[in-house]
Amino acid sequence: MNLFDYIRPASLDEALSAWEPGAAWLGGGTNLVDLMKTGAMAPGKVIDVTRLPGLDGIESLPDGSTRIGALVRNSTLAHDPDFAADFPMVAEAILSGASGQLRNAATVGGNLVQRTRCAYFQDPWSPCNRRDPGTGCAAIGGETHNHAVIGWSDRCIATNPSDFAVPLAALDAVVEVAGPSGQREIAMAAFHHLPGDTPETETALAPGELIVAIRLPAGARAFRANSRYLKVRERTSFAFALASCAASLRIEDGTIAEARFALGAVAAKPWRVAEAEAMLTAQPPGAALFSQAAERALQDAAPSGENAWKIDLARRTATRALALAAAGTPARMPALPASTFGEPAHA
């Protein structure tokens, strides 16, 4: 591991002043520390933000929105009874990620900026445009088992690993950030970038900016009666998604009044298609309708290697997630959150 400076600022202003090119923010450390150990990341300065005041609360704002401080631990958020009741698919997504020990350490802000789990990115000896711009993409022509099937480019085919980000995208969450130029807000839909020609630019964060909170709009509560997160993975414990879907419906008098759904693990960002959601509106819920919407959501999908099977898997995952949402949010969290083995589709 390379030598680096470590500082622990006592205030947000002090933290922002300490940042310089080559520095890295340290929250729970569940991603950064691993990458520093392998050499995939080598920051010259690590800024520990875990003691910054005022960033670890969950609060309801006067306008009805819910604000989550960036330093709230994943497990704290998922197990908060009021939050889980209002935003069940967000809680279900969090509890499907990593392990209990990691959820106790990881922060919600850090979750949004975690780096891809592409093995070629994590291996400092492999060419990677995301890690070292201009060196090439070793994943192209390599092992593409868990790589993108939509939104990828000839510079990068990596996927975003976050479960938490998928329901946030579906529910129109907003990310509050602070930086050298002051504070601003970024819509979740615009937070993560597709690779294009600049895969090294993974998010909309400007240099030196830090996530301070995530805000869910008041209207997101309207979906709580019919919301689910479904995650298909190679093992139920401690595995990243092969395909996932956050699905939420607002059903009135047997008809879908409004629909939101987003796919995970298929692109470098959560994948949401407004046209697919519109297909569900003003229709009675049903398997054929859900299948058609899933087909539209993945209309532009194409394999990035030997992973064409993943397109069909994503379609089936979205179709089943919508069916689970239509059946209703469970009164209790499933024993295996977000797992295909958690409960039958009709439960």
CATH classification of the domain holding 20: 3.30.43.10
Q: Is residue 287 assigned to a domain?
A: yes
Q: Is residue 45 assigned to a domain?
A: yes
Q: Is residue 162 assigned to a domain?
A: no
Task: Give the tens place of pLDDT for each residue, 214-272.
Answer: 999 999 999 999 999 999 999 988 899 999 999 999 999 999 999 999 999 999 999 99
CATH classification of the domain holding 319: 3.30.390.50
Per-residue confidence (pLDDT) for residue 347, from 0 to 100: 45
Determine the structural domain holding residue 9 and report its residue range: 5-51
Per-residue confidence (pLDDT) for residue 236, from 0 to 100: 86
Q: How far apart are CA 334 and CA 339, in angstroms?
A: 9
281: number of Cβ within 10 Å:
13
Q: Is 183 left (phi over 0), alpha (psi -120 to 50) or beta?
A: beta
Q: Number of structural domains, the chain?
A: 2
| Structure-token pair, residue 59 | 């609060």
Per-residue confidence (pLDDT) for residue 343, from 0 to 100: 64
Task: Give the tens place of pLDDT for each residue, 266-294.
Answer: 999 999 999 999 999 999 999 999 999 99
Q: Is residue 84 assigned to a domain?
A: no
Q: Is residue 123 assigned to a domain?
A: no
Is the whole-model pTM more than 0.75? yes
Q: Is residue 73 assigned to a domain?
A: no
* Residues of the chain under the 50 pLDDT cut: 345-347
Q: Is residue 312 assigned to a domain?
A: yes
Q: Which long-range contacts (CB under 8 A, 24 or more apart) does 326-333 make?
A: 326/226, 326/249, 326/251, 326/285, 326/290, 327/226, 328/225, 328/226, 329/88, 329/89, 329/224, 329/225, 329/226, 329/227, 329/228, 330/88, 333/84, 333/88, 333/91, 333/92, 333/95
Q: Is residue 108 assigned to a domain?
A: no
The distance between the two most distant Cα atoms of the chain, rounded to a whole number of Å, is: 63
Residue carrying the six token digits 């699905």: 247
Q: Are 160 and 268 in contact (CB under 8 A)?
A: yes
Per-residue confidence (pLDDT) for residue 345, from 0 to 100: 47
Q: Which helix (H) or strand (E) holds 93?
A: helix 88-95
Per-residue confidence (pLDDT) for residue 340, from 0 to 100: 87
Per-residue confidence (pLDDT) for residue 344, from 0 to 100: 54
DSSP classification of residue 309: H
